[in-house]
Each structure stands twice: as C-alpha cells, then as structure tokens.
Structure 1
Amino acid sequence: MMEVSKDMFVIIEYTVRLQDGSYVKGEKGPVSLNFVVDYNQILPALERRLLGLRAGEKADFVIPAREAFGEHDPSQVRTKTFDEFPEGRHLAEGKWAVATNEQTQARYSYYVKEKTDRSVTLDFNHPLAGQDLYYRVEVTHIRPALPEELEYLRPCEGNENPQVSSLAHA
C-alpha cells in the first residue's frame, strides 16, 4: 500500500484551527489540497507530519508557530506619522492593506493596528505569525507523480529542453 513519500501525488482533506477554536481553513467542512511530496508546494512542517501516512488514514496534530509562520516579531510593528506616510490618513484601523513596491512591483500586506490624528501603526507580520496551527487531516488519495508532473515541478533539472535552451541563448 502506498504512503506519503517523495515524488508521490497526494490529496488531503483538512481543516486548520487556531488555539481559540476559530477556523483558518475548513469552517464549513474540510477543504481539499493536492501536492507532490518534496517540492515545496505546501508548508514544510505540514508535509513532514504527513510522511508515512497511507490513503484513508487520519491525523490530528499541532504545528507550533515557529514551524508555521514564525513568532510575532515586534520589530515588524512600526508607527509612522502622516508626514512620513501621507497615505496612512486614508487607511482604516483594524483592516489589512496591500502595498506595491514601485521599483520591484513586489506586493506585501500589512495590518493597520492603530490610527490616531497624527500617525498610524502598521504591523508587517504574517497574519498567522505567533499562532499555533491545529490540523485535522485525512489522506484521501496517493499515487506516484506522473513524469510530466515531475518535469513541471523541476524544469531546470537534468535534460534541458532544446527549444528553451536556444531561446535563452538567442
């Protein structure tokens, strides 16, 4: 019988809760996730806990914050005056906002923690930083990944595609 291991295509049904019982995923019932093992497609701490399970097996486990999205980092909470950050005037306290770096076009989110008449306090930590994650998982399907799936997951390994290679050197 197959088990969750390297190069296997796996489908799980799962829920994730926080310590207070609130749901991160699966409030109305388990959600489905598929991935190929050992290709950084899911949270590494989750994948490690699934290794060795077989189709039909269920597991409950906790992933501590340090293995999930890290501890809450107080240095990532910053207060900016409206002189420094004029856009802060238009932000709503208690809401998430998204910014785009003008030069790199990278997008990042931040939480508007507090707003006064002169400043705004922003939290750049991941929303789940400092939170332990409580998983309930069922492995519903396991099969060897197909060669074309593996090729897609590691396009730069081994035999180069001659068409891509010629384009890269054109």
Structure 2
Amino acid sequence: MEITKDIFVVIEYSVRLEDGSYVKGEGVPVSLNFIAGYDQIMPSLEKRLLGHAQGDETEFVIPAREAFGEHDPRQVHRKTFEEYPQGRSLQVGKWVVATNPETQAQYGYFVKEKSEEGVVLDFNHPLAGKDLYYRVKVVHVRPALKEELEYVRPCEHGEDQETTEAMSLQ
C-alpha cells in the first residue's frame, strides 16, 4: 500500500543541515505519525513521501524556499532603547518569545546584536534560508480509520455530515 490521501502513516526520520548538524533525530530517529492529505505535516515533506510504501527508506533535500523560506533581510530590525526599552535586558545570541497583550499571539525573535544605542532583532524562522536534509524510513502504512478522519476533518467525515451540509445551504 502506497502513501496517498486518507492513509495513516508512521515514519522515523532525522533532519540535518548542510554543515552536518542535526535539527532532529541525531543518533536516534524521531517517530512521526500523520494522515496524508490533511496538512498535518510540512507540505513539501508530505509531497516527497507520496507513493512510498511501508519499509521504504529514502533520503532527500527540501530546499529552504520549500521549508521555512529564504532568510528575509526585511525581517531584521534595529530598535533603539528609546523605542524598545525592554531591549536593554536582552542577551545577544538568545531567542525571545514575545506575547501580543491584546491577542495573546506569540512570536519569536533572535537577538543578533546589542550596542549602547539599541538592539538588532531577527524575526526570521530559525531555519529560514537553510536546506533540510531528510533521512526517512516508512515504518507503517494503513488506511485511516473513520474515527481518525472525523478527528482531522470533522465536517468532511463526521456522522453529522448531512446535517452540516443542510445547515450550510440555509
């Protein structure tokens, strides 16, 4: 059985960067399960797994533009301590998680530089601009159960689908 939409998949994988450093799975691969076709994993990873079967082992590279994007210099900002007083307590080389007080949304940024005048903050994803080197083994493949499909897309697969469709017509 091949990996296609509505297939439950278990993989073991490791990811490293071009310099050989590991992002995940150094020494011991990481296990991941998902149902194909429902955006549960990075689309570029899923695309490369389609058509593989249980027992297959493969290696591939996901270019930065298909992973976390290229490093965008417009996401690097210089802030003076006047406009960003909290910058005084930040440490160069550290990641900071900030929370929007109104929405409670969280986002991260990297402290690139600090001087007498202010800080330089990088809002790019930590893996932006980096190609990802995957090694994957397909451990298990089977059709997804009805209950699993209801969980990932309740409106498409739930028992009340006719009711949902009727309500959307009103």
Shift in CA distance, 42/51, structure 1 to aligned 2, threshold 3 Å:
same
**AA in 2 matched with 1:102:** P
- Report if the CA contact (8 A) 2:109-2:121 is conserved: yes
Return the letter of the residue paired with 1:53: H
- Contact residue 92 and residue 114 of structure 2 kept, 8 A: yes
* Structural mapping, 1:5-24, within 5 Å: 5-24=4-23
* CA displacement 1:125-148 (0-9 Å, x = unmatched): 000000000000000000110001
Cα pair distance change 1:160/1:84, threshold 3 Å:
farther
Aligned length: 163
Report SS of the residue matched to 1:149.
helix
1:132-147 superposed matches below 5 A: 132-147=131-146
Say what the alpha-carbon RMSD is for the aligned residues.
Answer: 1.6
How big is the shift at 1:117? 1.5
Q: If the length of structure 2 is used for normalisation, what is the TM-score?
A: 0.92
Quote the residue 1:106 is aligned against: 105
In the alignment, what sits opposite 1:88? 87
The amino acid that maps onto 2:116 is D
- Please state whether the residue corresponding to 1:152 is helix, strand or coil: helix
Q: Which residue of 2 aligns with 1:155?
A: 154
2-side partners of 1:158 and 1:55: how far apart? 25
Contact 2:12 2:30 in 1 (8 A): yes
Q: How far off is 1:159 after superposition?
A: 5.5
Amino acid in structure 2 at the alignment position of 1:36: I
1:124 correspondence with 2:113 = no
Deviations 1:85-136 (Å, cap 9, x if unpaired)? 0000010000000000011100000000001111000000000000000000
Do the aligned residues in 1 keep the contact of 2:146 with 2:157 (CA within 8 Å)?
no
C-alpha displacement of 1:28: 2.5
The Cα shift of 1:156 comes to: 2.7
Which residue identity lines up with residue 18 of structure 2 in the other structure?
Q
Q: What amino acid maps onto 1:92 in structure 2?
A: Q
Query: Judging changes above 3 Å, is the alpha-carbon distance between structure 1 residues 159 and 50 closer, same or farther for their aligned structure 2 residues?
Result: closer
SS at match of 2:44: helix
Aligned residue in 2 for 1:75? 74
Gaps of 5+ in 1: 166-170
Other-structure match for 2:63: 64
1:168 alignment partner in structure 2: none
Q: Find runs of 4+ consecutive structure 1 residues off by over 2 angstroms.
A: 156-162
Identity of aligned residues (%): 67
